[in-house]
Amino acid sequence: MKLQIKAVNLDLTDSVRTYVTEKIGGLERLVLKHHRDSAMADVKLIFKPADTKATKDKCHVTISGLGGGDVIHVEEEAEDMHVAIDRAAHTLKETIRRHEDKQRDHINREARDLKEQAQTFDPGESDAP
C-alpha cells in the first residue's frame, strides 16, 4: 500500500511521519494480497493552533484502490495529533476488516458458483445440430 502524507499548519517531522507510517501503513496487512499493490492511503494532518476556536487537531485518511472502485474515508479529531492518528487507525482497522471480509465473501461466492456450473455442465449436451 502506498502512503501519501500531507500536513496543514504543521511541520511534518520525521517522528510524525514515522508514527503515521507505523499506524496507518501497518494496516496494509488487513488488505487482500492482490489489492496491496494498488491500494493508496492519503493522510492529511491538520494542526489547529491554540489561539483559534477549533483547537482540535484532525487526521483525515482516504484509502482507495481496494477493488471495485471502493474508497474508505475516515476523519478523526482530538486535542493531540497522535491521539487523532490513533483514533483514525482504530476506525480504519475495523472498516478495512469489514470491507475485506465482504470482498473475500464475494470472491468465494463467485468461485463456488463457477464450481457448481462446471459440475452441472454436460459436454454431451450441445446446442449444435
Quote the CA–CA distance of 103 and 110 in Å, as a whole number: 11
Q: Is residue 125 part of a domain?
A: no
pLDDT in tens, 60-85: 999 998 877 889 999 999 988 899 99
Question: How many domains in the chain?
Answer: 1
Residues with Cβ < 8 Å from 37, sequence gap 6 or more? none
Residue 20, domain extent: 2-120
Q: Is residue 10 part of a domain?
A: yes
Confirm if 54 and 16 have CB atoms less than 8 A apart: no
pLDDT in tens, 25-61: 888 888 878 778 888 999 999 987 766 666 788 999 9
Q: Is residue 94 part of a domain?
A: yes
Nearest to residue 107, comparing CAs of 71, 67, 57?
67
Sign of CA dihedral 27, 30, 36, 41: negative
